[in-house]
Amino acid sequence: MESIRYFNRGTGNMDTEQVYGEGFLRWVYGNPLGKLSLHALVKRHQFSQWYGKKMSKPESAEKIEPFIKQYGLDPSEFAESPENFKSFNEFFFRKLKPTARPIADSPVVFPADGRHLGFPDISRISSFFVKGQTFDLPALLGDSALAEKYAKGSLVLSRLCPVDYHRFHFPAAGIPSETKAIPGPLFSVSPIALARNLSYLWTNKRTLTHLETKEFGTVLIMEIGATCVGSIHQTYTPGVPLEKGAEKGYFAFGGSSTITIFEPGKVSLAPDLLEHSAKQIELYTLIGSEMGNKPI
């Protein structure tokens, strides 16, 4: 696979992704020997737990300053100064100042910083990162009846990289349910991996929350675990009404994804999201920016 390119909504430019651990990912998912290690070790929870513990040790804090410099992060956005973090993992799931991520006026916003793909009709998804892979909604949701209800609905995949802010938020105002955990392995969800096997999205460990809204019906919100993301932490209170953009939870170390699914006819996704997704180009933008609106 060639370098990963995406469209940056903020700058209006096409950018090339700086892939954390790119050499390792390409070896594991593209080399025959790498694939042996993938199935024997890397996809297993023990590997991610081991790496998570490593990144939670005090000595891991030495990696913070070089990481900030290498990937051009802006410490002025952080709620805490970099030197206050006691480990790399603590830095990784850092909070930001409220002013760092303003919430747009549109009724539905992106739930996370990241690279996003949007599809107006799930039943007509013909390609994600490579053509010819069928999207399996029943497997993703773990519920065939629920999948039937949302089969012609809209879906937005938000992919977070290790360099991103790793807290995820609610895309709309509403009342959230308890979160259901769906067990599974921990394959990478980088395009390097998904281009070879899209099913990692619906076989990986994942969580499912129902958000009851006035404007969009019941919105399904999912978090997808991945290699080195053995922990998906929920910080919200089920059953309590919340505002659009409220924090839902965070991922511990690693890159991962969230998926937002709407009932048929309930949302009109942003034009630039649809335009680039139709070309299999991800749209990069931040949590709180416009994801869509109510249908006209």
- Asked if the model's pLDDT at residue 29 lies above 50, the reply is no
- Asked if the model's pLDDT at residue 62 lies above 80, the reply is yes
- Can 105 be counted among the known catalytic residues? no
Distances (CA, A) of 157 to 18, 31, 212, 224, 235: 19, 27, 20, 10, 21
Amino acid type, 126 = S
Distances (CA, A) of 147 to 131, 139, 142, 260: 22, 9, 8, 13
User: Tell me, what's the pLDDT at 60?
Assistant: 92
- Can 169 be counted among the known catalytic residues? yes
Q: What are the residue ranges spanned by the domains of the chain?
A: 19-92, 103-293
φ/ψ bin of 38: left (φ > 0), alpha (ψ from -120 to 50), beta (otherwise): alpha
Find the catalytic residue in 87, 154, 158, 256: 256
- Can 257 be counted among the known catalytic residues? no
Find the catalytic residue in 113, 154, 164, 276: 113
User: Tell me, what's the pLDDT at 192?
Assistant: 67
Residues in Cβ contact with 167 at an 8 Å cutoff, skipping those fewer than 6 apart: 93, 95, 96, 112, 247, 248, 249, 250, 287
Q: What average pLDDT does range 276-294 have in this prediction?
A: 95
Q: What average pLDDT does range 31-35 have in this prediction?
A: 43
Identify the residue with better confidence: 52 or 168. Answer: 168
Q: What average pLDDT does range 203-211 have in this prediction?
A: 92
Residues in Cβ contact with 98 at an 8 Å cutoff, skipping those fewer than 6 apart: none
pTM for this model (two decimals)? 0.86
Tens digit of each residue's pLDDT (9 = 90 or more) over 216-260: 999 999 999 876 555 789 999 999 999 999 999 998 876 688 999
User: 36-40, 71-75, 149-153, 179-183: which has the minimum mean pLDDT?
Assistant: 36-40
pLDDT band at 183 (very low <50, low <70, confident <90, very high): confident
User: Tell me, what's the pLDDT at 191?
Assistant: 66
Q: What average pLDDT does range 146-174 have in this prediction?
A: 95
Find the catalytic residue in 169, 190, 257, 276: 169
The values of phi and psi at residue 260, to 5°, are -115, 130
Distance CA 290, CA 259 (A): 16
User: 9-13, 21-25, 130-134, 250-254: which has the minimum mean pLDDT?
Assistant: 21-25
- Asked if the model's pLDDT at residue 158 lies above 50, the reply is yes
Identify the residue with better confidence: 280 or 264. Answer: 264
Highest-confidence segment of 1-15, 22-36, 45-59, 108-122: 108-122
Q: What average pLDDT does range 288-294 have in this prediction?
A: 97
